[in-house]
Structure 1
């Protein structure tokens, strides 16, 4: 939503074109406001970046800074071809307009020109002059409207005052006179004044008779009788109190003795129940310990079997088993295993590992390394011979490796 009457208006346009003059003249005619102009290029290379930077710059201004932050932004440009207006179709400009926290009016080109910034702005104006008209209302029309409203308010107030004045006059006419209002209370006051002296005298005589009868009853013998009755009542009350105290004490003692017997019986039964629970828990603990020992022994047997099996598997897969059958492992100077004769050069120092130790060796320099055959011939299929004709030939020695 656009502000109804912005204090500061920011304009993003070219400072040398007719657009800024049209906007300033239209604002001056309608309602003069403070205008901040951010000069930018409106076409050509770098124009889109300048327009986007201007929008972001206005949004970055502090509200209480030396340069006030605008309440409304107008991005304006005059008419032109599609190529001239293409800067306002760039993504950077559209994103800057969409992310602007200040309400923004897009006034690019004429009424028939449509750019992408028109869809991202808060309001689209067909021309820059129309944008100025959307930004502020007409000052003369506001003054006239305010005058009309003030006059109507005054007329309504006068009408209300006149109605209340008429109501007050009618109420004054309906009220009785002051003498008529005070006549009846005055008569009541006169009657009460006339009846007051006889009433005081009768009240005094009644109180005197009552005091005389009371003083006649207050003789010495009567007082002694009352004191004796009070002492008798006090003695009887003391006896009853002591009897009640002894009865209450006896009841409490009997009650506490019964509670002590019950507490002793319940303590013995509770101790027996606790001993039974402890015995059951101890038996359960022994059973669990026995099961744990059996489970631990079973687990240890399984782990020992796994370790033995892993050791056998390691011994079967280790290359040392191959060395024990009469083979040797050849390594170069760096300790890497040598897999082919072609990788050994003349005079190379080698390390031969047997099953019972290691021996250092040097390759023969007179005999070149045998090249690896490109297509090794496939071994011919041997004829099947009966098992009785096979002969086992034991090797005399290992022989030379090269």
Structure 2
């Protein structure tokens, strides 16, 4: 890949922070946006702005076409069988909550839901709320000290009571790549459905939902070079048709009377009200950007960054890594002996380097390791080894300052 050519498409990477060139290593929280996405959103508001699906006038029809074309682009990228299996949401959290409510209405007291010990809070709390509402039981796949799921224990958790398994594809705080194919096959063998949290995966690897055979797949636009406030829930048509609507309002209805309302077909049944039109169109542009790249080359480049950064960080005395799975992607979580992650992150920011500090919305992971949080550097396709060198040099300056 021509990294400098790619970097030139991201205007924010030329910015300076505290007088220093920006080194942006917080991609696990949100990615930066290429000019093509920024311009597409601007073009919508300046040339096409209108509500969709309802108007016969030209602007409404053009906006509707652009919005639905974005859905088609996403469908092709993730390998969904039908475009109406792609539901626009506010993001990963919204998609998981939709499933927890709507699929949850099909569950009964005593049914079981399995999640893992490395889940983001967004893939824990909605299921806890469902269990409280419906009398279901939440089971948890344990994780070992390397940050790998103990799949032999997962096998033991599965039973005829299991109705849903919800796991992350890639851990946001550890970088672990889970064997979701194995999890899906095992769950399906006992009749359970599977939701995969793809918030940290779809921007790094090629995802095909039909090959995975998952029942649901969720992700956020802002983590894959698209806008905030937009995301996708993929669901198999048969299951989505069984689920009741998540919200009521305009566009999700077929007929409304004061006596009874009938619901619209997919995907509209789950897309009540005026959607984030600019966000959907912008997300389509983000996928067009991804489609212009070779995802195998992206993965290769990011793996090289991970390996290089890990090797250089290992040279720092007192460093401890959290998340040393055999299969992992471009996330490094670590602590330096005696130093608070917040202090390190604050001083890195003064040097123009953006990292994330804290528990990364995965507090149970931190509790397992008996730590308050970590320093997390997460890489994207536009990052470079030169930036890692700046990062390492900064840490070598900071450590003596904080230990004095």
Q: Which has the higher helix share?
A: 1
Q: TM-score, normalised by structure 2?
A: 0.25
Q: Which has the higher strand share?
A: 2
Q: TM-score, normalised by structure 1?
A: 0.25
Q: Which of structures 1 and 2 has the bigger CA Rg?
A: 1
